[in-house]
Structure 1
Amino acid sequence: MDNEELKALFDQQAAGYDQQWAGMAPLRETLYCLLGALFVGLPRDARILCVGVGTGAEIGYLAQRFPGWRFTAVDPSGAMLDVCRERAARGGFAERCEFHEGYLETLDSAARHDASTCFLVSQFFVDARLRTALFGEIARRLKPGGLLASADLAGDTTVPAYETLLHSWMTLMSSAGVQPDMLERARAAYARDVAILPAARVGEIIEAAGFERSLVFFQAGLMHGWVSRVPG
């Protein structure tokens, strides 16, 4: 699936996206809780870059917890970004947000950020060189010592145990209310359109983009989270 096909898919899903994945909220909330603990030492007026922000759930969490922070929300899907704007307006933090519709490379790199999030984005870059380039674009927009919190699906698909983990993940999504047709689409996408790699390999890709050693700070089923730092 190329970038435009992926953008069209998320445009179509935007209006019902949050409701569709509402049953997975416990995993998301745990990820955000740990994210807040990672970012708690940032300046009171920190600027946070949110790459592939979608409907803006992580901004909603961070904006409430850190009332002095400002956010740059980046997403190629205009429909997703519209939902993000609505969330910001409802939450009363829209004036603290800059919304950029487009890919990260179209965002001015002159403005530097204290930290960045990139959740369930890089996994769609099946070419490792393009995945590294994405993280490189993030690194160029962070201040020296800036933090990246990223999350993607990860696992060693070459070992028999992966099928056990995949079955467990699908069962989890089913019990969370994800519809059967979406489960089948997800299973097909994992085999074709999602780069599910061992967690250590993902860390190497992030480091190749200019970050210091990446550490896994979160894991729930197939979903992993890494924290990485730009050299100070």
Structure 2
Amino acid sequence: MADGTSAAARKFDADRAGEYAQQSRIALAGYEACHELAACMLAAVLGSGTPARLLIVGAGGGGPEIVTAAALEPGWRFTAVDPSSAMMDLTIARLEQDGLHDRTEIVLGTVDALPQDAVYDAATLIGVLHHLPGDAEKRAILQAIAGRLKPGAPLVLAGNHYAYASQPLLLAAWGERWRQHGASADAIEARRGKILQGADPPHSEAAVAALLDAAGFEPPTRFFSSLFWGAWLALRRAGSADGA
């Protein structure tokens, strides 16, 4: 997992981190709704008002998973993991602004940097999987998460799926979304070229389910969709102590 994760972290340098908050909300129509529903799905499984420890993987960029979930459930505490220092700086600043720093452990690195005996009640992996090259890297991060979850614990997985070029209508609509927010034709074409070359999403919803199954999770339930983006909740399968 280290090589693919390091390459993904290098993509999110200081320049990209600085524009992330605005651009992610354009690229993903329904950005806030996805995070709000993710928190609701986790609360539906864990129970309203129940104390819990949540592992937030890929928490850089302002930590919207933490901010949204913390507002819904005051008894939840978080471990925020991200290998990009520029992205994590944004999250630390937001957590301090919202008074959430005391509820959050910051880990600059990967899931593998966590103690082997660390156990969590739930986890999120939002906007990460499609940045990791190849199925082996994707399975590795999911297995690392599964290995640190209690049996039956929920994982919220969200990110792009489909091979972008295989969905020309969705790709065209994605470009129109940028035009809707003032992007020029040249800027849209540049962004289209970047997305076609710079990410490797699972190629279908079935591929997402297969990755989760191989990592030790039950079949997922999709609760959000927006063009290429999907969000699912899957429970860690009981009896697979190593996450596989």
Query: Is TM (by shorter chain) over 0.5?
Result: yes
Task: Return the alpha-carbon distance in structure 2 between the equivalents of residues 137 and 82 of structure 1.
Answer: 24
Shift, 1:115, TM fit: 0.8
Shift, 1:218, TM fit: 1.1
* Cα pair 1:20 1:178 within 8 Å, conserved: no
Q: CA deviation digits over 1:27-74, x for unaligned, max 9? A: 111112221221114252111111111220111111111111100100
Task: Return the alpha-carbon distance in structure 1 between the equivalents of residues 173 and 25 of structure 2.
Answer: 18
Q: What is the identity, as a one-letter code, of the residue corresponding to 2:38?
A: L
Q: What is the RMSD of the two structures over their aligned residues, measured on CA atoms? A: 2.3
Residue aligning to 1:107: 114
Greater mean deviation of Cα atoms: 70-79 or 99-108: 99-108
Q: What is the identity, as a one-letter code, of the residue corresponding to 1:137?
A: A
* Cα pair 1:24 1:176 within 8 Å, conserved: no
Aligned pairs for 1:123-202 (under 5 A) are 123-155=130-162, 159=166, 162-177=167-182, 183-196=188-201, 197-202=203-208
Shift, 1:22, TM fit: 4.3
**Aligned pairs, how many?**
230
Residue aligning to 1:8: 10
Aligned pairs for 1:12-91 (under 5 A) are 12=14, 13-23=16-26, 27-41=30-44, 42=46, 44-55=50-61, 56-91=63-98
Q: What secondary structure is seen at the aligned counterpart in 1 of 2:150? A: strand
Q: What secondary structure is seen at the aligned counterpart in 2 of 1:204? A: helix
Shift, 1:154, TM fit: 1.2
* Cα pair 2:57 2:124 within 8 Å, conserved: yes
Residue 225 (structure 1) aligned to one of 231, 235, 241: 231
* Cα pair 2:4 2:137 within 8 Å, conserved: no
* Cα pair 2:218 2:237 within 8 Å, conserved: yes
* Cα pair 2:142 2:212 within 8 Å, conserved: yes
Give the fraction of aligned pairs with identical amino acids, expressed as a percent: 31
Unaligned runs of 5+ in 1: none
Unaligned runs of 5+ in 2: 239-244
Shift, 1:181, TM fit: 6.8
Task: Return the alpha-carbon distance in structure 2 between the equivalents of residues 100 and 180 of structure 1.
Answer: 40
Tell me whether 1:121 sits opposite 2:123 in the alignment. no
Tell me whether 1:215 sits opposite 2:215 in the alignment. no
Q: What is the identity, as a one-letter code, of the residue corresponding to 1:61?
A: T
Q: What is the identity, as a one-letter code, of the residue corresponding to 1:118?
A: L
Residue aligning to 1:94: 101
* Cα pair 2:27 2:174 within 8 Å, conserved: no
Q: What is the identity, as a one-letter code, of the residue corresponding to 1:199?
A: E
Q: What is the identity, as a one-letter code, of the residue corresponding to 2:32?
A: E
Q: What secondary structure is seen at the aligned counterpart in 2 of 1:113? A: coil
Task: Return the alpha-carbon distance in structure 2 between the equivalents of residues 15 and 190 of structure 1.
Answer: 18
Q: What secondary structure is seen at the aligned counterpart in 2 of 1:143? A: coil
The structure-2 alpha-carbon separation of the partners of 1:184 and 1:50, relative to structure 1 and needing over 3 Å to count, comes to: farther
The structure-2 alpha-carbon separation of the partners of 1:90 and 1:191, relative to structure 1 and needing over 3 Å to count, comes to: same
Q: What secondary structure is seen at the aligned counterpart in 2 of 1:142? A: coil
